[in-house]
Amino acid sequence: FHGPTLAFKDFALQLLGRLLDYVLEKRGERVVIVGATSGDTGSAAIEGCKHCENVDIFILHPHNRVSEVQRRQMTTIFGENIHNIAIEGNFDDCQEMVKNSFADQSFLKGTRLVAVNSINWARIMAQIVYYFHAALQLGGPARSVAFSVPTGNFGDIFAGYLARNMGLPINQLIVATNRNDILHRFMSGNQYVKEALHATLSPSMDIMVSSNFERLLFDLHGRNGAAIVGLMDSFKQGGGFSVEQERWTEARKLFDSLAVDDAQTCETIAEVYEQCGEVLDPHTAIGVKAARECRRSLDIPMVILGTAHPVKFPDAVEKAGVGKALELPAHLSDLFERNERCTVLPNELKAVQAFVSQHGNRGKPL
């Protein structure tokens, strides 16, 4: 999480922006990115694309509903191809507008739309790398390694699963969730059922459904697309589902899971600070708690993925009673003094699409 926006998402999005621009340059094409964010993704995507000659990026966030650090990390980056839109609505409204824009792209007048959310394959691909890097530091590939991963959309941990499929000896992957625990309910009880969204101290993992989980299900069903369509249909109709016992058992050979609530998150931040003087962000703390609870073997090194810098989540750190004052790293030290640029729009698809088509060509009309 030591990249420009202090969350691990930089790792993949820094690469994605460059890859995209490289290919577009070769093809003589341009694209428009429209994305919705409740926090970390938006700033990492903007940082990743700000130098792209052939990309215009529009990031929607819910007006007055993201933290000041997170908002400023987006709105203080200036460029004629960067557009922040604050929607007078909530995150679901923003996401809905992005989905609808993908469904009907006529407002783009032929320019292609690209998604940078966590199912983007290039992002997953980039994340595979650090599993290998970590394992090699710890004696791999001769020695097995285990990982505990703070999980929301199942993207980061899915990269670990792919690293294992590529031959890295990973003997255990721990799905660490907050109170939004649909994945934990599947891993512990073979129930994949949607529940209400809870706001937690680890907001980057506040999800109802994990968008990459379908990819694991696909493998568990022998890569049978029709079977997955059936499962997902019953899920969308509100039914939820279980998988056959032997498929679930197969998943459990590798995956364990734990859901960690806010109180346990704060306890873990305090505990780790006391034990090692390290201040964890709340997402990483969830990974640590799950690692400690679920570790299968003391002979096998356990790696916990640290997903954000604690300075991004001061509420949790304060609640944990960690006395140490956190400072923004040098490259962000003047964040609160910088000018901001952002357009507030009503919660209307037409207004957003009109704005995109008016500014989608480096600030000029498409």
Question: Per CB under 6 A, does 40 bind ligand PLP?
Answer: yes
35 forms beta bridges with 59
For residues 118-137, which are near ligand PLP according to CB under 6 A? 118
For residues 205-224, which are near ligand PLP according to CB under 6 A? 205
Which of these ranges, 70-78, 88-96, 153-161, 321-329, lies near ligand PLP under the rule CB under 6 A? 153-161
d(CA 290, CA 304): 9
In the complex with ligand PLP, which residue's Cβ is closer, 144 or 307?
Answer: 307
Q: Which amino acid is at 270?
A: A
Main-chain dihedrals φ then ψ at residue 223, nearest 5 degrees:
55, 40
Site pattern 301..330 for ligand PLP (x: CB under 6 A): ------xx----------------------
Question: Per CB under 6 A, does 184 bind ligand PLP?
Answer: no
Task: Give me the active site residues, please.
Answer: 9
Shortest CB 74 distance to ligand PLP, Å: 14
d(CA 256, CA 221): 19
Helices (H) and strands (E) in the chain, counts: 14, 9
Measured from the Cβ of residue 249, the count of other Cβ atoms closer than 10 Å reads: 11
Question: Per CB under 6 A, does 265 bind ligand PLP?
Answer: no
Shortest CB 339 distance to ligand PLP, Å: 25
Burial of 106 (C-beta count, 10 Å sphere; 0-12/13-18/19+): exposed
Shortest CB 265 distance to ligand PLP, Å: 12
Question: Per CB under 6 A, does 150 bind ligand PLP?
Answer: yes
CB 342 within 8 A of CB 85: yes
Cis peptide bond prior to 365, omega within 30° of 0:
no
Shortest CB 45 distance to ligand PLP, Å: 12
Q: Which residues are at the interface with ligand PLP (CB under 6 A)?
A: 7, 9, 40, 118, 150-156, 204-205, 283, 307-308
